[in-house]
């Protein structure tokens, strides 16, 4: 078994307070896995075919020295690395600019994904801090980087605060103006990643709002394979994809524990020993399957069995 994509949390603390959807900010700002430990893990055979690494937190840019060390080790350890995707809440524009200068020439493709939840008031409310202006500055830094292999993306999590197509359209327009991609998904619970399994904040988006969002997707995202899958998921509760969590992709938590995906409670390895469970025959037993998030759906479509690519095409046809 050799993984093709991983999501790696370099830390599990944050300077935003997204209480409605995430409790990571309650964690102490402690480095749980050193950069050299991550590098040692990634040198193992099961990671040698990794093509994509999505860096996440917490907020990765809170500790730049640690982040840089992880990225440097990752580049050294992974000979087939083609794409580094880093998630940020956008509150450190200067650090993001320096990061681009440092690493854009060292990887084939670098994407900076910035969280933007809607118009200024709505964004600040959902994020729990007044960060809108910093986010806009970060967007400006990325859009003006001048690097052909650097792309930007805006990311929105839909909650009761911003479940309105006017908010989504605002972010879509900001993305379009800056030449960015835009992606969004419904808020979800994960004790492994978001630490929000016991918050009690499980309010459902009203069906009328969901229908409006589905119409918005059909109007503006008819060529987006993830949104095609999300449409199918919101209508039926299924994506139709065969899950390959733990075989094609995995999640590495900040403490070095390895999980099949961000929702799983099943530990399949660790930073010292690598992946110890190479075949999982009971997906869904310790994971709330199915799910519909980009970090799972894209690897399923890109690296999963051929029927997943067929499902992708069928979903796109249905969306159009």
pLDDT at position 159 over 70: yes
Of 293, 205, 270, 278, the closest CA to residue 247 belongs to: 278
Distances in whole angstroms, Cα of residue 281 to Cα of each of 62, 77, 284, 296: 38, 30, 9, 18
Q: Cα(25)–Cα(14) distance, rounded to whole angstroms? A: 5
pLDDT at site 13: 97
Q: What is the pLDDT of residues 36-94, one digit of tens each?
A: 999 999 999 999 999 999 999 999 999 999 999 999 999 999 999 999 999 999 999 99
pLDDT tens profile 15-44: 999 999 999 999 999 999 999 999 999 999
pLDDT reported for residue 202: 58
CA–CA dist 202, 109 (Å, integer): 37
Residue 122 token pair = 């709505």
Q: What pLDDT is recorded for position 191?
A: 92
Per cent of the chain over pLDDT 90 is: 93
Q: Which helix (H) or strand (E) holds 9?
A: strand 5-9
pLDDT of the residue at 198: 76
pLDDT at residue 200, rounded to an integer: 56
Instruction: Tell me how far apart the alpha carbons of residues 130 and 168 are, in angstroms, rounded to a whole number.
Output: 19
Is the pLDDT reported for residue 135 higher than 60? yes
What would the mean pLDDT of 296-309 be, rounded to a whole number?
A: 97
pLDDT in tens, 199-219: 655 568 999 999 999 999 999
Beta bridge partners of residue 113, listed in sequence order: 87, 153
What is residue 7's predicted lDDT score, i.e. its pLDDT?
98
Q: Name the nearest CA neighbour of 263 among 293, 235, 241.
A: 293
CATH numeric code, 5-319: 3.20.20.70
Which are the contacts of 148, defined by CB distance < 8 A and separation ≥ 6?
none
Please determine, for residue 167, whether its predicted confidence score (pLDDT) is greater than 60.
yes
Give Dmax (Cα) for the chain.
50
Please give the average per-residue pLDDT across 302-308, as a whole number: 96
CA distance 95 to 65: 11
State the average pLDDT for the chain.
96
Indicate the domain borders of the chain.
5-319
Provide the token pair at 217.
């997707």
């Amino acid at each position: 078994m050799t993984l093709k994509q991983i999501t790696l949390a370099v830390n599990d603390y944050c300077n935003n307070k997204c209480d409605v959807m995430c409790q990571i900010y309650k964690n102490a700002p402690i480095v749980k896995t050193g950069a050299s430990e991550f590098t040692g893990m990634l040198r193992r055979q099961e990671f040698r075919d990794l093509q994509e690494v999505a860096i996440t937190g917490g907020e990765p840019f809170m500790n730049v020295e640690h982040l840089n060390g992880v990225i440097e080790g990752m580049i050294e350890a992974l000979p087939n690395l083609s794409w580094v995707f880093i998630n940020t809440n956008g509150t450190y524009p200067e650090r993001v600019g320096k990061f681009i200068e440092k690493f854009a020439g060292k990887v084939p493709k670098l994407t900076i994904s910035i969280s933007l939840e809607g118009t200024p008031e709505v964004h600040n409310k959902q994020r729990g801090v007044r960060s809108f202006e910093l986010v806009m500055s970060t967007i400006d830094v990325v859009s003006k980087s001048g690097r052909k292999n650097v792309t930007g993306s805006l990311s929105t999590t839909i909650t009761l605060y911003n479940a309105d197509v006017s908010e989504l359209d605002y972010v879509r327009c900001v993305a379009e103006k800056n030449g960015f991609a835009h992606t969004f998904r419904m808020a979800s619970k994960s004790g492994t990643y978001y630490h929000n399994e016991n918050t009690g904040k499980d309010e459902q988006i009203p069906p009328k709002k969901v229908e409006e969002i589905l119409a918005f997707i059909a109007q503006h995202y008819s060529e987006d394979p993830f949104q095609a899958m999300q449409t199918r998921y919101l209508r039926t509760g299924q994506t139709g994809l065969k899950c390959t969590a733990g075989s094609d992709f995995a999640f590495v938590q900040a403490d070095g524990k390895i999980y099949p995906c961000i929702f799983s409670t099943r530990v399949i390895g660790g930073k010292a020993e690598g992946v110890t469970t190479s075949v999982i025959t009971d997906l869904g037993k310790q994971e709330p399957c199915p799910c519909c998030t980009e970090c799972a759906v894209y690897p399923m479509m890109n690296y999963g069995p051929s029927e997943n690519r067929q499902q992708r095409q069928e979903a796109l046809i249905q969306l159009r």
